[in-house]
A and B are shown apart, each in its own frame.
Chain A
Amino acid sequence: MILYALRRLAAAAAILLVICAATFAIFYLMPADPAQGACGKACSPERIAQIRATLGLNHSVVTQFRDYLVGIVAGRTYGTGAQVVSCPFPCLGFSFQTNEPVWRMLTDRLPVSVSIAVGAAVLWLAVGVTAGVVSALCRGSLWDRAAMVAALGGVSLPIYFTALVLQYLLVVKAGLLPYPQAVSLTADPVGWAESMVMPWIALAMLYAGVYARITRGEMLESLGQNYVRTARAKGLPEPTVLRRHALRPALMPIVTIFGMDLGALLGGALITESVFGLPGVGKLAADAINSADQPVILGVTLFAAGFVVLANVSVDLVYAALDPRVRAVG
């Protein structure tokens, strides 16, 4: 088990390295000049040359990549002499537009993304899995049909469209909620919850649809298993049969998908955060794209990739812990 965990972690590190190299290559082989991007529109050639030197853009790609990797594990400094800029461990780059290390920008924004992701996840798991289970149990009923139509609708909703409809209805028309804004959980818990309600609902509508469909399918599959018949033949009460012998196996694939989805969301719900104007990691990425702040884009990409890869590993480990057959092999 421990060996298995180590092997998975090593594979994850390798994947991150490849992603890192690929992202790096895109930025440094593409025609856009990062120095130009760091400096802005009206920029003298001298200033650009200076920035090039500071960023180390005159070195070869390989040297730059090596410096970048070293920066991640040990921190680094940019430039020389009076203009030295330090970027402490773990250095995912330095934004010359905001004069901040990318890592600090990311960690500043992370709580918002986590709030959005976790809250929405609780909501969609509760709604989606419940709806899926009930649908499977009353398969073919009116409820089942209605729930599955609703689920397909939810799956097809573009998040920014849902977001605008929600804002229009709840804020403009009904006046139930204030315009969403960044509120700290510790300073103003009620305001925080109010600002989070709409992103939670918007994300949950999409994901609950996905989860209801998957849960229903898995549940129907496990209800048809012979061991469910055995459990009934033993005379177990029906709730126990359903919970222990039908739901438990049906939840296994859902654990996998949930881990992946949560990992992807923790790395920034790009569109959701942008449309609600909430300053999370995703909003940071969207802003960086608009202002062509390449070190930030690169940093966010790696940061998000880190979450996805980490989610992958966690899912594998959780799966191994939950499934005795995998556990034995691992």
Chain B
Amino acid sequence: MTLLTVRGLSVDFLSGVRAVDGLDLELAAGRVLGVVGESGSGKSVTSLAVMGLLPPDARVTGEVRFDGRELNGVGQRTLRGLRGNRIAMIFQDPLSCLNPYYPVGFQVAEAYRAHRRAGRRAAHRVAVRMLERVGIPEPERRARAYPHEFSGGMRQRVMIAMALCLEPDLLIADEPTTALDVTVQAQILDLLRDLRERSGTAIMLITHDMGVVAGLADDVVVMYGGRAVERGTVRDVFYRPRETYTKGLLACVPRVDGPLPVRLPTLRTPVTAAGEASEVTV
């Protein structure tokens, strides 16, 4: 069953930049869709468009259907009921995404309380349980600590706990491992894989790193200049890439099993106007 369907999605900014240009996506319940592309290819804007979190100067056209319901153009009230509840999101830089003035336990509980009629204590208990589930040691004590007292990987675990505490149907993970060390990246990917197997949450995994996609995704969409240039199962795209762009993207990933190149290839595709909509707009 299809959980998320995106049809002909375009996002224009007042500045005249078209960040997403007629994009189609499909994500079935419980599946993991990797959305890959270089910076500025429109992948982050797509995810924010799904969440309805784009700044007011963005104009979104096209269809975004979640669980059979159209989301584009509906009121903030409806979107708010879905956000954090049925669609959750985690971001690239977990330090700046956590409010420095509140303990992490409070911030996790806040997500829970926004959608469930729960008292402070009950929500706190949920938060502690979630922190434990994402692998934070001594969750009872750490729930009272502040974001600056955590390491990068632990902060991302907190973000994941926050996103998953209401057992959403869809998790949008926007570059969840980019800001982290390589070993921590692997841990977070393991955690996501594990959580997905246990809860059956569908994941829309946004990344520029083909390696991350290979480790977690079932299907892949390759984006370039706001459009999908290639799509298919991970297997298809990795072993039989049809587009030169995808081949180039794949060649950028260093391989442990291949010969060591002197220098990794650099992408030299011409950048279109749409491609210039960098992450600044997000």
Contacts and interface: CB of A to CB of B under 8 A. Distances in A.
Is there direct touching of A and B in the complex, by C-beta distance under 8 Å? yes
A225 interface: yes
Interface stretch (A19-27, A118-126, A234-242, A272-280): A234-242
Nearest to A246: B99
A10 to B, nearest CB: 27
A81 interface: no
Scoring A235, A245, A248, A322 by chain B CB atoms within 10 A of each residue's CB, the highest score goes to A235
Contacts of B96: 225-227
A234 B53 contact: no
Contacts of B111: 234-236
Which of B100, B148, B159 neighbours the largest number of chain A CB atoms within 10 Å of its CB?
A: B100
Interface in A274-326: 322-325
Interface stretch (B81-89, B122-130, B260-268): B81-89
Contacts of B162: 230, 234
B101 A235 contact: no
Nearest to B76: A238
A226 B53 contact: no
A262 interface: no
A229 B91 contact: yes
A226 B82 CA distance: 20
A249 B101 contact: yes
**Interface size classification for chain A:** 20 to 34
B236 interface: no
Interface in B252-280: none
A322 B102 CA distance: 10
A227 B99 contact: yes
A230 B148 contact: no
A226 B155 CA distance: 14
B133 interface: no
A324 B148 contact: yes
Q: How large is the interface on B (under 10, 10 to 19, 20 to 34, 35 or more residues)?
A: 20 to 34
B7 interface: no
B110 interface: yes
Nearest to A222: B99
Contacts of A240: 114
Interface secondary structure of A, over-half rule: helix
B118 interface: no
A238 B80 CA distance: 9
A234 B84 contact: yes
B146 A324 contact: yes
Interface in A196-245: 225-227, 229-238, 240, 244-245
B53 to A, nearest CB: 6
Nearest to A238: B76
A328 interface: yes
Nearest to A324: B146
Given A235-B83, A236-B114, A229 B53 contact: yes
Contacts of A227: 96-100
Contacts of B89: 233
A50 to B, nearest CB: 63
Contacts of B53: 229, 232-233
Centre residue among A244, A248, A249, A324 by max chain B CB count within 10 A: A324
B149 interface: yes
A234 B83 contact: yes
A161 to B, nearest CB: 40
Contacts of A328: 146, 148-149
A227, A245, A323, A328, most chain B CB atoms within 10 A: A227
B93 interface: yes
B99 A249 contact: yes
B115 interface: yes
A324 B101 contact: yes
Given A226-B93, A235-B80, A324-B148, 5 more contacts: A233-B53, A234-B162, A322-B101, A324-B100, A324-B101
8 pairs of A and B residues whose beta carbons are closest in the complex: A235-B84, A235-B83, A234-B84, A226-B96, A324-B146, A234-B111, A227-B99, A233-B89
Interface of B: 51, 53, 76, 80-85, 88-89, 91, 93, 96-103, 110-111, 114-115, 146, 148-149, 159, 162
30 contacts: A226-B97, A227-B98, A229-B91, A229-B97, A230-B91, A230-B97, A230-B98, A230-B159, A230-B162, A232-B53, A234-B84, A234-B88, A234-B162, A235-B81, A235-B84, A235-B85, A236-B84, A238-B80, A240-B114, A244-B99, A244-B110, A248-B101, A249-B100, A323-B100, A323-B101, A324-B103, A324-B146, A325-B100, A325-B148, A328-B146
